[in-house]
Structure 1
Amino acid sequence: LYLNLLDWGSSNVLAIALGNTVYLWDASNSSTLELATIDDDNGPVTSVSWAPDGRHIAIGLNNSKVQLRYSASNRQLRTLRGCHRPRVGSMVWNSHILTTGGMDGMIVNNDVRN
């Protein structure tokens, strides 16, 4: 079992996934915010990764999907589907490219520009 459930963003905010919920802890004021709770059909959360801008976050799910969210408004921007068969265990950003690794052994580069 391989999961990445913590990621420290460039805005000094720590994303933490616990079960089906992603929380944000702001180190500048010690506040905690619930960013997203995933339904049981899609969860649990298996990985989180901040984009370099510190405003966008990717949430990898047990059902092989990845949700892209804008953290300031808690708005879901889109869902990446079909990248992997089982869960998404690892993610990393390089500018607008989100690279995902799944338990299927595949590594996929996703261009997330609109």
Structure 2
Amino acid sequence: MSGTKQLSFKLVPGENATELLNAQAQKWNHIFNFVNSMSLKCAIELGIPDIIHNHGKPMTLSELITALPIHPTKSPHVYRLMRILIHSGFFSPKITSENDQEEAYVLTEPSRLAPP
């Protein structure tokens, strides 16, 4: 037993499926915005924008992991964190060279701003 509750929705008179779907999407967007906020908080606390800025050029994942003040057991999670932050627009991926096709990270305008 997974412990999750299966929800079912019934349309009320005058309501259509599109309205119900939009309401559900809005609810889930609010719930998942927490992930974006906590990912940004984590990046700022780790100093990721400063590390990439001080590197002076696009920074690969392996370079970033080496520069971060984290325990080596946490390093596999950095890739996922960076994917969320790329999706949120705080960093941008860049291919470092045509030969190795290794992805590197660069700052975007929002990540250049100092935290409040």
TM, length-normalised to structure 2: 0.22
Return the structure number with greater strand share. 1
Return the structure number with greater helix share. 2
The higher-RCO structure (CA 8 Å, 6+ apart) is: 2
TM, length-normalised to structure 1: 0.22
